């Protein structure tokens, strides 16, 4: 994670010279090749499904920087009704990370992905155990019997989705979590509320044909 932060900082230094002082954007690695990120109908979506800007979030439930960004993203999406969020669970840190990802994706079959995702992201700290994750999921209000059933019945689909997420992250050259695709931009670092606000504004300008 430290190397990821250094990488993001280096990217920032390279790009800041190309950004007008009146429109300082969040550091981005570059533009997204849309062919490298096809729509995946299995990926959970929150926010406005018909939003004018899509934020694709790559995250891990044991990543403290992901948790900080998740709280900021939740606040931002509540303030901007035109944003669509696609969640790419990318468990790269621990076995428990993968366990949490499978719980969240299984909850999606009963329409509760967002609730479980939020519950897992709100657990403080890092290296959270599987037992602690399960406690948080139970407290989120999901039907646990159905979740366990769906987790078994859809195990292959869930594992296939996680594999596709990992392949897409590799294709994009991502170094770790969190990472975000915001409209035409890649942001390989944690973001706060104001950062999301800025980069989404820049994305809208770019998508309208602006500089």
Q: How far lies 159's CA from each of 101, 102, 105, 163, in Å?
A: 10, 8, 10, 6
8 A C-beta contact, residue 191 and residue 73:
yes
Give yes or no for residue 1 having a pLDDT over 50: no
Average of per-residue pLDDT across 198-208: 94
Average of per-residue pLDDT across 11-17: 32
Nearest CA among 194, 210, 192, 205 for reference residue 68: 192
Nearest CA among 87, 85, 66 for reference residue 164: 87
Please give the mean pLDDT across all residues of the chain.
87
> Can you tell me the distance from the alpha carbon of 115 to that of 140, in angstroms, rounded to the nearest whole number?
6
Domain limits, the chain: 2-207
* Helical spans, DSSP H, in 82-154: 95-107, 113-121, 130-139, 144-153
Q: State pLDDT tens for residues 106-161.
A: 999 999 999 999 999 999 999 999 999 999 999 999 999 999 999 999 999 999 99
> Can you tell me the distance from the alpha carbon of 55 to that of 141, in angstroms, rounded to the nearest whole number?
26
Hey, which CATH number is domain 2-207, 2.40.37.10, 3.40.47.10, 3.40.30.10, 3.40.50.300? 3.40.30.10
């Amino acid at each position: 994670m430290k190397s990821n932060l250094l990488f993001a900082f280096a990217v920032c230094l390279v790009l800041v010279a190309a950004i007008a002082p009146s429109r300082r954007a969040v550091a981005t690695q570059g533009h997204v090749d849309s062919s490298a990120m096809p729509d995946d109908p299995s990926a959970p979506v929150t926010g406005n499904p018909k939003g004018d800007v899509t934020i694709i979030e790559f995250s891990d439930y044991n990543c403290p920087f992901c948790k900080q960004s998740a709280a900021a993203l939740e606040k931002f999406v509540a303030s901007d009704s035109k944003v669509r969020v696609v969640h790419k669970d990318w468990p790269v840190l621990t076995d428990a990370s993968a366990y949490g990802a499978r719980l969240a994706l299984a909850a999606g079959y009963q329409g509760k992905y967002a609730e479980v995702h939020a519950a897992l992201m709100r657990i403080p700290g890092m290296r959270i155990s599987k037992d602690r994750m399960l406690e948080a999921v139970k407290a989120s209000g999901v039907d646990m019997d159905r979740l366990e059933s769906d987790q078994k019945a859809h195990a292959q689909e869930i594992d296939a989705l996680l594999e596709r997420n990992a392949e897409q992250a590799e294709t994009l050259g991502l170094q770790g979590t969190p990472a975000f695709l915001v409209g035409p931009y890649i942001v390989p670092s944690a973001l706060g509320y104001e950062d999301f606000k800025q980069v989404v504004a820049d994305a809208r300008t770019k998508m309208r044909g602006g500089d």
